[in-house]
Each structure stands twice: as C-alpha cells, then as structure tokens.
A and B are shown apart, each in its own frame.
Chain A
Amino acid sequence: MRVFWVVVLSSLLMAGCGTKVTRIDVDETVDLSGAWNDTDSRLVAEEMISDALSHPWTSDFAGKKGRAPAVIVGTVRNFSHEHINMNTFVADMERALVNSGRIEFVASSDERGEIREERADQDLNASEETRNEAGQETGADFMLKGQINTIVDVEDDEQVRYYQVDLTMISLADNRKVWLGQKKIKKLVENASVRY
C-alpha cells in the first residue's frame, strides 16, 4: 500500500523541481541539445576570418590602392535544419575582421538607411561645425556573402548533424571571387531513450 502512495505522489510531484541558474564564462562550451550554439557561431566566425586574412587578397588590394580594403557584409543565408540567429554569427565575423586592423567595414544596406536619416536630420538641425555632409560615404570594395547548410542523418535516437559554412569574398569592382572559405562541423547527437 505504502509503495502505491509513494509512486502516485512521486508521479504527481515529479514536475515540480525548482530552477537553478549558474553563471558560466561566455567562452565555456556547453552542448545541451546538439544544435548550433554560441560556441559554434564564435569558433566558425573566428576560424574563417583568420583563414580569410591569411590569404593574399588583402595585401594585394593594399599594395595596389595604398589602403585597407573596405568590406560590406551581404547576405549570409541559413539553409540549415535549425533556426540559427544569423545576426550573432555576422556580428562575430564583423568583430573578428575589424579587430584584425587589416580591413575596414562599411555599414550594411539595412544599417545605412538609419544613418542616412540621421544625416538628413543633421543637415536641418545640427550646427555647421558638427554637421556630417551627405555624399561622403566610403564605398565597399568587397562583399562577404555566405550560407550555412546542414545534412542530418537520423536512426532511432541518434542523429549525425553535419554543418557546412561557406563564405565568399567578392570584389565589387569586377565580381571576382577573391576568397572562398569553408568550415565543417560534424556532431553525433544521442538522445536519451529513457527519462526519469
């Protein structure tokens, strides 16, 4: 009898466990579901940009023009099986490129609209000494485009997730592809077949 009541009450109360929060370092890798996470985003961005900068297209451009190339981030599309926040991935790449000091970044087409609105407002309202004129924008020399693709293989409670990130740096002057970067990640995700 006692066993019956213990089991029944445990079953009813099982869901009532409290929430526990532990602060961890942002660089610490925590894989919970096996899905694309902050570590994947940061590592892929850093490794791919380091690969991009190790190729001669930046020095070739600087040699010819006498200045660092200006890059704009175009579309990086998510063709994967997961909803990936492309904004954090793109921001990670921008940060790695700008911090290298070998590339200048210009605002993306989405950001430009707001900046132009502000400039138009300055034209009307800001003092002459502080006003920024229209028509002084830096044009981009290269556009960074890319995509994330996945292949997922499933068998029972196991999944193999293969991610492939492809990035391309394209010269805006002549459409030449000056750098092609690729990073692959493969994860084996074993889902529990029994839970408490």
Chain B
Amino acid sequence: MLLKRKTLLAVLLSVLLQACALHQQKVNSLAEQLEHSTPEETLISLQSIDPAGRDRGQYLLNTGLLKSITGDFEGANRDLQEAKEILNNLQATSVSENLGAAIVNETLRSYDGSASERVLLHVLLSINYLMLNNLDAARVEVLQADVVMKELAREEKPIGQLASAHYIAGLIYELGGELDDAMISYRKAANLMTLRNMQPPPALQSSLLSLSQRLGLDEENKEYREQFALPVNPDTLHSSEIIVIYWDGVVTSKRGNSLSVWVPSLNQAVSLALPYYPPSNYVEDHFNLRLADQTYRSETVEDIEALLREDLDDESAAIYAMTLARMVSKYQIVKSAGNENDGLGLFINIIAMLSESADIRSWNMLPSSIQFARFSLPAGEYSLPFPHYAGSQQAELVETRLAVSAGEKIVLFVPGVSQKIFSYTQTSP
C-alpha cells in the first residue's frame, strides 16, 4: 500500500516537472520566433499559457514587454509593475525553494530575474511612462533603477550596472531641466561603456558635449571636443533635437545541458543539468533614419546578449554548488529506497534522473541590443519609415510623418521587431 502511494506520488511529481519543462520550452520557442512573427501574435500565444505561480514574474516581464512594443503602454505598465513587486519580494533567500532546488531541481525556485533584468525592468518602465507623456513617473523609474544598481554594485565587476539605464536617466533629467543630474548620468553611462571596452556612441558623445557646454564645464567640454570628432550642432533655436531609442533583435534564450551516466561504483545512474547560453547568432543591425537628405544611424549602448551571459557567469558558482548538493541528496534518496526494495530503488533512480532539469528561464523577449541616436533637425515635417504613434493612453496612429517644431526635443522609441515608432515630445523646454 505504502509502495503504491509512493509510486503514485513519484509519477505525479515527474509528470508535473515534465509539464513545467514543456511550458518553458514553449516560452523559449515563442521568444525565438518573435523576430519572424508579430509581437501581437506572440502576445496572444503567450497569454494562452497558464504559468505556474513561481514563473509568474517571467511571464509578466514578457507580456509587459510585448504590450510595450505594440503600444499598449498602460497595459504594459500594469504587468511590469506587478512583475517588479514579485521580483522585489523574491530577493530574500527562500528556505523551502532552496530545499526544493537541492532535492529536485532549480526550476522549483520562483523566478526572480537576473541582475541586469531587474535594472532593465525599470528602463522599460521609464520608456513606457515617457511614451505616455508622464515625465515624473519616468523619473521615478530611473531613480528606482539607480537604487537597484546601487544594491547590486560590487567593486570587482560591474554586474547589474547598465550604461543604457544611466543614459535614459540622463535623458529624463535633461527633459525635466535637471541638467546637473543629467550630466552625472551621462558620465556614468560613458564610464560603464569604457569599463566594458565599448566606445561611447555619437548619441552619448553628443549629450556629453552639449551638456558640458550648457553647464559651463569648459575644461570637461574641451576634453570631450578633443576626444570626440563630432560635427558642431546647428543652431538649436531654429531646430529641434531628436533622440532615438532603438531596440534591435531578440535576445538568445537559455538552453539546458544534461548529462546522465551510470556509475558502477555507486550502482546508480547519476544525472545533472546546467543552464547555458548558446553562442549568439545575433548580427547587429542599426536603425537608419533618412531625414532631410541625411541618414542618421543608431549605435549600441547596451549589448544585452553580453550582459545576460555576464549575469549567468556570475551565478554559475552558486548553480554548480547547488547541482553538486542535489547529486548527493538524490544519491542518498535512491540508496535508501534501494535498501528498502530493489525495484523501488530503480524506480526512484529513474524519477531522480527525469526530475533533473536546468533552469532555462530568463526574460527572453528582450532585445539583443539597445541603441541610441541623437541629432538636430530643422523644423518641418518628415517622412518616417514605419507607422508613427504619438504617446497617449493607448498609442494612437498618427501616420508615417513626424512634425517637428523649433526648439522641441522629441524622443522616438523604435522596437525593431514591431516596426513601429512611438514618440514623446517635450511640452515645455
């Protein structure tokens, strides 16, 4: 009777875990198809999946992102704010989830996001609020991103420190007229890029040059002029400034590496599974905007592919330690079952092998890179390559034209996979 109950429980557990693994593979497959499908279709498919409670954070990050790039900024913010609350509440170490991970597998933990994902959540929220014409709320998100980055800061490596988060922060401060804070954020963005061996792109160079000039930081401005070979901007009184935030590609999903071997000395089959990122197939593309007989090109500030690999590398020591602990605990469980009954031992050994599964969850619908462009444009009306939606409650189709008035600052958000352009126009200089 007892044997039957245990067998039933083992089968049930195995089925449950297999269902979870299949669900995650479906999410990964949707993310991989995002570039060849539409975000609207992907969102419908994703919403048809009922995620387990512990995967809700990941689910909301993806639905929030898809809603953002389709222009449903209100809906996106609802999902992303809920995801933020979930992720924040999960930062404390869970005793029960660690036990589950030490005995069954890592997917029994609630999804709490990697270091960079936690910061990118605020970055996306700040863009969404900006597109909803709510500069104050966007400012709240960049302040929160700053707090998260301070929490994550370590001396030895820049885990969770994002140049794009600082650049967006600088932009939002600048739009709000807080030039001192904007300058500090732009400097932080440039320092992080240098730390990661990346050259600050023209958008960041232009921001540093222009602000150091406006703030009267003559020495710093002189240094930037010597360092960056940028053309002098035309008179901004008769022109406007366009800032483009371009999201390129879709980041690679995690995969799992599994290994099962029969160990004669233990008289057991031992298995282990570890997550990894396969080599990236991402080929960097740029947003080329041809306006007034000139082409403006976005350049990368954040290589998300590299960031997420950096995060996984940083987590790997803990993952290996937990995998080792799990191997030992599974060995002990199978051994004690085998001592009770040979058949039960073999059966539990099979269940232990089947239950071994790598945690391949990630915010896998993020772009592969975040790029920016910044340039001046004379007042006028311009044709855009994609449909243009002006920020409102539910982004509203305007047309493929962009009207630009003198002295305005216009932020264009261009998610490459949705081929749409959303805009925010600074209402008061």
A93 to chain B, nearest CB (A): 18
Which residues of A are at the interface with B, using a C-beta cutoff of 8 A? 1, 4-5, 7-12, 14-16, 77-83, 150, 152, 154, 157, 159, 191-196
Residues 87-108 (chain B) with a chain A CB within 8 angstroms = 90-97, 99-100, 103-104, 108
Residue in contact with A152 in the complex, picked from B9, B104, B147, B333, CB distance below 8 Å = B147
Q: Which residues of B contact A157 (CB under 8 A)?
A: 92
Tell me the complex Cα distance, A81–B137, Å. Answer: 9
Given contacts A7-B103, A8-B103, A11-B108, contact A195 B93 (CB under 8 A): yes
The residue of chain A having its C-beta at the shortest distance from the C-beta of B16 within the complex is A12
B347 to chain A, nearest CB (A): 12
Binds A, one of B32-40, B138-146, B285-293: B138-146
Interface: B156 (CB within 8 A)? no
The residue of chain A having its C-beta at the shortest distance from the C-beta of B153 within the complex is A154
Task: From A4, A9, A196, name the one whose CB has the most chain B CB atoms within 10 angstroms.
Answer: A4
Tell me the complex Cα distance, A25–B249, Å. Answer: 51
Q: Mark B332-359, 1 if CB is under 8 A from A, else 0.
A: 0100110010000000000000000000
Interface: B13 (CB within 8 A)? yes
> Contact at B93–A194, with CB atoms within 8 Å?
yes
Q: Mark B44-73, 1 if CB is under 8 A from A, else 0.
A: 000000000110000000000000000000
Q: Which residues of A contact B196 (CB under 8 A)?
A: none
The residue of chain B having its C-beta at the shortest distance from the C-beta of A193 within the complex is B92
Tell me the complex Cα distance, A15–B90, Å. Answer: 12
B72 to chain A, nearest CB (A): 19
> Contact at A83–B137, with CB atoms within 8 Å?
yes
Q: Which residues of A contact B26 (CB under 8 A)?
A: none
Given contacts A11-B104, A12-B16, A12-B108, contact A81 B147 (CB under 8 A): yes
Residue in contact with A12 in the complex, picked from B81, B100, B143, CB distance below 8 Å = B100
A77 to chain B, nearest CB (A): 6
Q: Which residues of A contact B94 (CB under 8 A)?
A: 194-196
A81-B143, A159-B147, A195-B94 given; 14 more Cβ-contact pairs under 8 Å: A8-B13, A8-B100, A9-B9, A11-B99, A11-B100, A78-B137, A79-B136, A81-B144, A81-B147, A83-B81, A150-B143, A191-B91, A195-B93, A196-B95
Tell me the complex Cα distance, A191–B340, Å. Answer: 45
Interface size class of B (residues with CB under 8 A): 20 to 34
Residue pairs across A and B with Cβ atoms less than 8 A apart, 8 shown, are A1-B336, A5-B9, A7-B100, A7-B103, A11-B96, A16-B53, A79-B136, A82-B140
Interface: B157 (CB within 8 A)? no
Q: Which residues of A contact B147 (CB under 8 A)?
A: 81, 152, 154, 159
Interface: B6 (CB within 8 A)? yes
Tell me the complex Cα distance, A123–B100, Å. Answer: 71
Q: Which residues of A contact B150 (CB under 8 A)?
A: 154
Tell me the complex Cα distance, A157–B89, Å. Answer: 12
Residue in contact with A192 in the complex, picked from B81, B92, B100, CB distance below 8 Å = B92
Q: Which residues of B contact A15 (CB under 8 A)?
A: 53-54, 110
Tell me the complex Cα distance, A159–B147, Å. Answer: 10
Q: Which residues of A contact B337 (CB under 8 A)?
A: 1
Closest 9 CB pairs of A and B: A11-B100, A15-B53, A195-B92, A81-B143, A192-B92, A14-B96, A195-B94, A154-B150, A78-B136
Q: Which residues of A contact B54 (CB under 8 A)?
A: 15
Residue in contact with B140 in the complex, picked from A7, A9, A11, A81, CB distance below 8 Å = A81
Q: Which residues of B contact A80 (CB under 8 A)?
A: 140, 143
A146 to chain B, nearest CB (A): 13
Q: Which residues of A contact B226 (CB under 8 A)?
A: none
